[in-house]
Structure 1
Amino acid sequence: MRIISGIYKSRKIVAPKNLPVRPTTDMAKESLFNILNNQFYFDEISVLDLFAGTGNISYEFASRGTEQITSIDQDFGCVKFINQTAEAFKMPIQTVKSNVFKYLEKTNQPANIIFADPPYNFSIEEFAKIPELVFKNNLLLEAGLLIVEHSKHTDLSNLHNYSYSKSYGGNMFSFFENTTRV
């Protein structure tokens, strides 16, 4: 994997082969950040990276100047790798080793962008639990986005607070927004 833009642009990061991950492709990541670049000043936002895996998305935000990044993953190897990489590059990434659903139930730390890259084989009920917990617990700041990455074969358009989706090859990003704004 490589960092697309920012101060660490073109840096390659090689994750251990034994991690249970499926990193977001460079093409999909570049397209996602093109969308986000038009809506946010990266140095002014906070990010919550759920099912962080290799930390691919967190590194991209850090490279673009985001100072408040929290990466959540339940795999010890993933958390260790993110910590090592963040330390090596001096990136402001905090990690939490936790089951994402338990973390979302307990945290009271809202973010401007919440990115979730759960296993593609999740059931629709498991996918639905992500926006349900995010919005029930008011974890998305005003004008923020929840982005869920999933297979193009999964349709999340019927979930609460769904806004729109973008497809990139076999990857799809579904965007959720707080619809209860005044």
Structure 2
Amino acid sequence: MRIISGKYKGRRINPPKNLPVRPTTDMSKESLFNILNNYFNFSELRVLDLFAGTGNISYEFASRGSGPITSVDGDYGCVTFIKKTAKEFDFDITAIKSDVFKFLEKSKATFDIIFADPPYGMEQKDFERIVSLVFENELLEEDGMMIIEHSKHTPISHMANFSFLKNYGGSVFSFFELENDTEEDVTDEEDEFDS
């Protein structure tokens, strides 16, 4: 796993092999940040990384100058690794061991970007619940964006505040925004590589 851009571009991060994770591939990650680059100046963005796993996405934001970043995962090993890596790189990341749904129910903070990468095998209703909790609890800033990474077999484009999606092989990034005044016709766009 490597950081693809920013201050620590090219730096490799080697998480323990026993963590229960499926990290976002470098190709998908690069494409995601190319999209976000059109919407945001990464400096000082407040980011929430749900189902953070190895911290892969959190480090990418931190390397670009974002922070504070909150990384939430239910696995003790993942949270321990994120804390260790954040200290090593002096990243503005707070790692929290928590059930993601409980965190979303209780959080009073707001964020510019919320990224969620749940297990692909999670039930459809739980993917939908992530979207519902974020918007019901007003966790996203007015000009913010939520991105959910999921399988192409788990459609969530019917949910309120859906904006657009991008396909990368078997993986999909669905983007949600508070205001969706402009329709972007990219829902069927398929990039030429598989993740």
TM-score where L is the length of structure 1 = 0.97
Q: How far apart, in 2, do the equivalents of 1:11 and 1:180 lie?
A: 37
Q: Is 1:96 paired with 2:96?
A: yes
| Residue in 1 that maps onto 2:69 | 69
| Residue in 2 that maps onto 1:82 | 82
Residue deviations 1:98-131 (CA, integer Å, cap 9, x gap): 0000000000100000000000011110000001
Query: Could you list the runs of 4 or more consecutive aligned residues of structure 1 that deviate by over 6 angstroms after TM superposition?
Result: none
| Residue in 1 that maps onto 2:10 | 10
Q: How far apart, in 1, do the equivalents of 2:90 and 2:39 lie?
A: 26
Aligned with 1:42: secondary structure? coil
Q: How far apart, in 2, do the equivalents of 1:44 and 1:19 lie?
A: 29
Once the two structures are TM-superposed, the CA of residue 162 in structure 1 deviates from its matched residue by 1.1
Q: How far apart, in 2, do the equivalents of 1:21 and 1:14 lie?
A: 13
CA RMSD of aligned residues (A): 1.2
| Residue in 1 that maps onto 2:158 | 158
| Residue in 1 that maps onto 2:178 | 178
| Residue in 2 that maps onto 1:40 | 40
| Residue in 1 that maps onto 2:114 | 114
How high is the sequence identity, in percent, across the aligned residues? 62
Give the number of equivalent residue pairs. Answer: 181
| Residue in 1 that maps onto 2:56 | 56
TM-score where L is the length of structure 2 = 0.90
Q: How far apart, in 2, do the equivalents of 1:44 and 1:82 lie?
A: 19
Unmatched runs of 5 consecutive residues or more in structure 1: none
Residue deviations 1:25-64 (CA, integer Å, cap 9, x gap): 0000000000111111111310000000000000000000
Letter paired with 2:72: I
- Report 1:125-164 matches (<5 A): 125-164=125-164
Structure 2 contact 19–78 (Cα < 8 Å) conserved: yes
